[in-house]
Structure 1
Amino acid sequence: MKIPFEFNSDDERNKWLLYHYLKKSYTCIGLSEIDAEKKTDEMILQNSKNLFGFHGLA
């Protein structure tokens, strides 16, 4: 997969990748594009304090 743009930091890129693949996983299980975006936003906000840490979202 080619990322279409540059990021200022690795953290920004990691968050973009997490969002992209989480949304993709929701569409793969049958959610519509809009519902997948809503669910992804919800999960990112719910776990915003621990996205990549121990027992984090990623």
Structure 2
Amino acid sequence: MDSSTIGYGDLVLPRPWRLLGPVEGLTGILMCGLSTGLFVALLGRVIGGKVGDDPD
């Protein structure tokens, strides 16, 4: 199996559980996007706070 949890076909879930693999892969992609978005927002606040502090 590779990191996307889809696999190569050598390990197959039982029939009622076969939808779990693609759903888990999609959830992983969404969580990666959410983590990236939160990181960029936090970074923008940190950098924006330092740049926006004018003594004038």
TM-score (norm: length of structure 2) = 0.39
Q: Which has the higher contact order (CA 8 A, sep 6+)?
A: 2
Which protein has the larger Cα radius of gyration, Structure 1 or Structure 2?
Answer: 2
Richer in helix (by share): 2
TM-score by length of 1: 0.38
